[in-house]
Amino acid sequence: MSAHTTADPSEQAPGQTPGQTPEQTRLSTGEDIGAWQTIRRGLRHSPELKDGIGWTLTLAVIASVGQVVIPIALQQTIDNGLRGPGGPDPSYTAWLALAAGLALLVTSWASYKMTARLFSTAERGLATLRIKAFRHVHDLPLLTQNTERRGALVSRVTSDVDQVSQFLVFGGLLAVVSVGQVLIATIVMIVYSWQLAIVVWVCFAPLFLSLRYFQRKLSAAYGTVRRQVGAMLSAVSEPVVGATVVKAYAIEARTQERIDVAVDAHKAASTRAQGFTAFSFSLGGLSAGLANAGVIIVGIWLGQGFAWGEDITAGKVLAFAFIVTLFVGPVQMGTQILTDAQNAIAGWRRVIGILDTPADLVDPGPQGHTLPKGAIDVRFEQVAFAYPGGAEVLSDIDLAIPAGQRVAVVGETGSGKSTIAKLLTRLMDPTRGRVLLDGIDLREISEAALRSSVVLVPQEGFLFDDTLAANVRYGRLGATEAEIREAAEAIGVGDWLDGLPEGVETRVGQRGESLSAGERQLVAMLRAQLADPDLLVLDEATSAVDPQLETRIGRALERLMSGRTSVTIAHRLSTAEAADVVVVVDRGRIVQHGRHDELVAQPGTPYARLHASWIAQHG
């Protein structure tokens, strides 16, 4: 199969640094979704986030109201308990202290409950979002998945969701409490002295007025930060996946350079975003300082009866100083929340972007056709295919394969053989024409029926880090050990299984590294045999294995194909020789079709040339 099929696009774009946005991505970036729309849609995707919100808000209000108990108690103690008309009143002061203590207990309990609830709701809601996004990634056609760098894709369902979670737990909590505190602090300030309340609000006005501006700046800045996190993860994960190549070619320095560029790009984006935060935070500090000074100066002025004839008490001025801190804290925190919110929204957008990307290989579902059991006949009718943004790589493909026939597809590298296999197994749909199985257009066959009747055995079947049995069961979930054995006997690999240290329970290691290349092929065949397809599409492995194993693989293949229609992308002369029909593909077109001996007898044709080169290589 061509390297393009599974290669990461970033590997194909040497000029592109990891810090750059991969422009070829076909996954929606979500960047055109507005902030409010993101929140609305995010909540729709994770309805759990709204569960019990009423009670959580009530707890938040209790927690906020409790905050003003101290300044009010202080004012009452000073003005009525200590400096009351009849002198100090200890029992009144004691009652006040008791009431304040009780209020504080309730406030702390409410605050604890609210935090716990926010934590669990946020985690539940976001777990759903993560699962949904990940499922959708599975539904996306391979072609779309492969346009996004893997690290970036992973970051969308991991670190991007984490940002949302962090914000919802901490920022969301603080936002609720802060708004409550500002409102209550304002009410209490107005009750105590509307003039001092105006002083405080005037000092904070510039900050409030500039919030919208900062929000826009921060939104853009954090959009870049989230993108760079994805780029950084791909830059790091790629060399880990390709560690063998990195080591074999001693390209650690170049790889490190790519990582350094990605890390630098991320640092630059983060620093820029935090610059805005620092500025708005300082503006908050400045406003707070001004408000404190203003309250004391104007308070004393009013207290001395210099202005508006107000008679403000010492208790009120002191209470005011406390209330200003209640007001300042949340407002300053607000700027931090704004920052977190922008980071979270940028992350949320990218997750929603995944969900927005259409799964363009539409599954007709239960309404779709199923295929009757038994060997399948295949027809390509005027099929053409172009990869997105590229020229046609297959044109005018007409091919009829009767049920049970064994077909070998041959051609030069890059001629389009693997593309035919991908169309036949509906990993992609043709840009023109139709592919029919038993006379039914592939697009009308339900995905479940298709996958149970048609199996693709790729050149390098991916093995998961698990036991051999678990890997083979991807062919038929729930297959018993006896069924696995039966399948192994059917393709003649039972004795090989017995020879493994722990039989079917032998662990295969990451990507099957504990097995040899040839053994991995046997596992792939066993998996296919267990799946029991009616149409088998094989991309013949090119890796050379020892002659004994080669014979065993050949025999297993032979048995695997028997009684089924099979289409093999052949790289070996022996496979073409053994096939009922050989199809020769040249530059995206079928140029020859017939039995091996007929074709080889046509000198000067592409098949004759291929044949000559096989003979030259293998004698």
Ligand X SMILES: Nc1ncnc2c1ncn2[C@@H]1O[C@H](COP(=O)(O)OP(=O)(O)OP(=O)(O)O)[C@@H](O)[C@H]1O
Contact residues toward ligand X (CB under 6 A) are 1-2, 4-5, 387, 390, 393, 411, 413-419
Please name the residue that has the structure tokens 């409102």. 183
Q: How far is the CB of 1 from ligand X (least distance, A)?
A: 5
Q: How far is the CB of 588 from ligand X (least distance, A)?
A: 7
Closer Cβ to ligand X, 368 or 414, answer by number: 414
* 21 burial level (CB within 10 Å; 0-12, 13-18, 19+): middle
Closer Cβ to ligand X, 30 or 458, answer by number: 458
**Hey, CA dihedral for 267, 268, 271, 276, is it positive or negative?**
negative
Q: How far is the CB of 574 from ligand X (least distance, A)?
A: 17
Structure tokens at 129: 């979002």
Q: How far is the CB of 147 from ligand X (least distance, A)?
A: 9
Element (H, E) at 207: helix 194-241
Closer Cβ to ligand X, 185 or 584, answer by number: 584
Closer Cβ to ligand X, 1 or 319, answer by number: 1
Structure tokens at 302: 């009013």
Alpha carbon distance 67, 474 (integer Å): 58
Structure tokens at 601: 């007898």
Alpha carbon distance 583, 361 (integer Å): 27
Q: How far is the CB of 435 from ligand X (least distance, A)?
A: 15
Alpha carbon distance 89, 86 (integer Å): 8
Q: How far is the CB of 134 from ligand X (least distance, A)?
A: 23
Q: How far is the CB of 573 from ligand X (least distance, A)?
A: 15
Closer Cβ to ligand X, 4 or 113, answer by number: 4
Alpha carbon distance 360, 557 (integer Å): 34
Q: How far is the CB of 389 from ligand X (least distance, A)?
A: 8
Closer Cβ to ligand X, 185 or 428, answer by number: 428
Closer Cβ to ligand X, 255 or 415, answer by number: 415
Alpha carbon distance 171, 254 (integer Å): 40
Q: If we measure between CA atoms, which residue out of 607, 589, 587 comes closest to residue 597?
A: 607
Q: Cα–Cα distances in Å, from 363 out to 49, 302, 357, 430, 437?
A: 30, 75, 15, 15, 16
Q: Cα–Cα distances in Å, from 345 out to 39, 168, 199, 286, 402?
A: 7, 10, 34, 28, 55
Closer Cβ to ligand X, 49 or 421, answer by number: 421
Q: If we measure between CA atoms, which residue out of 143, 145, 125 comes closest to residue 135?
A: 145
Q: How far is the CB of 240 from ligand X (least distance, A)?
A: 23
Closer Cβ to ligand X, 63 or 457, answer by number: 457
Q: If we measure between CA atoms, which residue out of 113, 95, 91 comes closest to residue 103?
A: 95
